[in-house]
Amino acid sequence: MGEAESASPIALSGFGGSSSLRRMALEISDIYKHFGPVRANDGITFTVEEGSLHGVLGENGAGKSTLMKILSGFYEADSGEAILDGETLTLRSPADAIAAGIGMLHQDPLVFLPFTVLDNFALGSPGPIPLDRSTARDELARMSEQLGFHFDPSKLARDLTIGERQQLEITRLIWLGAKVLIFDEPTTGISATQRIQLFTTLNRLAETGLIVLFVSHKLEEVEELCDSVTVIRQGKVVFEAEMPVPSELLVEKMFGKVFHEEDRQPAPLGGPVLELEGIVLEEGTTRLDDLHLQTAAGEVVGLAGLEGSGQRTLLRACAGLLDPSSGRLLVDGNDLTKTSYRGHLAAGVHYLPAGRLEEGLVEGISISEHLVLSADDSSFFVDWKAADEAARQEIDKYSIKGTPTSPAEALSGGNQQRLLLAMIPDEVRLLLLEHPTRGLDVESAAYVWQRLLERRSDGTSIIFASADLDELLRYSDRIVVFFAGAVFALRDTSETDGEELGYLIGGKERV
């Protein structure tokens, strides 16, 4: 190797140093990981050589996070192995991974906020139990100088910016001997200047002979930064190349071919249902600014974008779970801006979040009991015989596989979703759905949509968030694209296609 190391401004022992002349490489070989029926990693194989800045690209749920968690010891793979510098690694815990030379930077840097910079740095270092702060202080100074970072060791971690916390993590991991550094969506929540700084750092780390894996769904960043790229879709490697590669090819590989379905059947639209007038929403790092949106009776609006780009924030605000900092929110002309969640329910707004068992159904409670809970009835005693009878009818009507006494957790995902549909009251003006068909088989998904679309004729307006381009194109009249916590674009479905959406979701206009 030699060349990379001598050219490096940081010459350090164990710093990507392989003893032999052969170039160090990380070989990922045939990794499988299943979660129940979901094949998160379905035989992933690729190789990254030392000194390269390698992009791992894929949409949400493609399996890239699972793979990185396997590499960093959080999950154990069902089968397959990781080989670093010719040595097969045993990765049973994060401690194993770091001992083997693999360091992971999480989306939210794992620093302990009430600790000082120095204590964070010294934390997790191997050695005897008494903490040798003076040595750690010297090491921190030496390491940060080599890396070009500046820390005040006595500052509390909570007073650092996200970017500085990342730098602290990098310093710590390299000090612990990391030869492979994994960055999982590292640009989330950091400023533009910090992003530039981070990219400079990443380039320098790669130059010194480290293997840097840059995991992202942002096309632009991968194009700007990486020397090579692996695209993962549905748990499989679908594309590998040296950069540069044309963007449209990457989009196609990431999302697969999406066909614009001609059998879309829009319903006739009525008057306005939801009106957002210059609404401002703030939640975490998401800030939706001055948003204007109107939906009509019978209209379906799809919210596209990678998870956490602001779709959920908008849905929560429409449901009355998040107060806008300014602007007005009207449903059927009634101002609901500062109305509570229950006020929204009374106004005919119904929200179905993605977590069916977390934010919808109650474990340990039966189908009958759920239907009683959601029923508009205030009698003190419950007539369980009548309730079971009513439940049996709903079970028939929605073809739920279960009995009135089946507890929610015993139902499959599709049947849980059907139960949730049965719990929606008849009179609904605005239906807010988050990933309504996630995890469902094709038949269940089609059924769910059939039931939802029926409601359009009653003048119900539907807003749904989805990661599935096909679903968005097939059912929406209009599509709002979110990127990085803001509304990026608004398209009529008839005037766009899967390719353009792919670009927009990745934060790029079509060229």
Does 359 contact other proteins by CB under 8 A?
yes
Cβ at position 247, least distance to other proteins in Å: 33
Please check whether residue 431 is in contact with residue 424, taking contact to mean a CB–CB distance below 8 angstroms. yes
Count of CA atoms in the C-beta half-sphere (13 A) of 217? 27
Q: Which is nearer to other proteins, 272 or 407 (CB)?
A: 407
Strand partners for 29: 81
At 458, is the secondary structure helix, strand, or coil?
helix
Distance (Å, rounded) from C-alpha 486 to C-alpha 41?
31
Q: Is the dihedral of CA 308, 262, 441, 41 positive or negative?
A: negative
Find the binding residues for other proteins in span 67-96 (CB under 8 A).
74-75
- Nearer Cβ to other proteins, position 205 or 419? 419
Site for other proteins in 130-159 (CB under 8 A): none
Tokens of 316: 């929560």
Q: Are 498 and 473 spatial neighbours (Cβ–Cβ below 8 Å)?
A: yes
| 495 is a site residue for other proteins (CB under 8 A) | no
> Which tokens hold the place of 105?
């930077």
The residues with which 28 forms a beta bridge, in sequence order, are 46, 82
Residue numbers 21-50 binding other proteins by CB under 8 A: 35-36
Burial of residue 240 (CB within 10 Å: 0-12, 13-18, 19+) is middle
358 binds other proteins (CB under 8 A): yes
Task: Decide whether 358 or 443 has the Cβ nearer to other proteins.
Answer: 358
360-379 residues near other proteins, rule: CB under 8 A = 360-365, 369, 372-374, 377-379
User: For other proteins, which is the closer residue by CB, 215 or 372?
Assistant: 372
Straight-line distance from the first to the last Cα atom of the chain, in angstroms, rounded to the nearest whole number: 40
Give the binding range for other proteins (CB under 8 A) out of 271-279, 359-367, 388-396, 463-471: 359-367
Among positions 192, 380, 450, 511, the unique one binding other proteins when judged by CB under 8 A = 380
In the bound state with other proteins, the residue whose beta carbon lies nearer, of 90 and 374, is 374
As measured in angstroms, the least distance from the Cβ of 348 to other proteins is 12
Spell out, one character per residue from 306 to 345, where the chain touches other proteins: x when CB under 8 A holds, - when not. -----------------------------------xx--x
- Residue 35 or 112: the one with the smaller Cβ distance to other proteins is 35
Are 230 and 240 within 8 A, CB to CB? yes
Site residues for other proteins, 415-444, by CB under 8 A, read 423
Tell me how far, at minimum, the Cβ of 51 lies from other proteins, in Å: 34
* Contact between 381 and other proteins per CB under 8 A: yes
> Facing residues of 280 across strands?
326
- CB of 265 vs other proteins, minimal distance in Å: 30
Which CB, 177 or 413, lies closer to other proteins? 413
In whole angstroms, the minimum distance from the beta carbon of 464 to other proteins comes to 16
Task: For residues 291 and 295, give the distance between their C-alpha atoms in angstroms, rounded to a whole number.
Answer: 13
CA distance 280 to 200: 34
Nearer to other proteins, 347 or 453 (CB): 347
464 forms part of the interface with other proteins (CB under 8 A):
no
Kindly give the pairing relationship between strand 286-296 and strand 430-434: unpaired
- Rounded CA-CA distance 63/68 in Å is 9
381 or 426, CB closer to other proteins? 381
Give the length of the chain. 511
| Nearest CA among 72, 104, 101 for reference residue 176 | 101
Applying CB under 8 A, the residues found at the interface with other proteins are: 35-36, 74-75, 341-342, 345, 351, 353, 357-365, 369, 372-374, 377-382, 384, 423
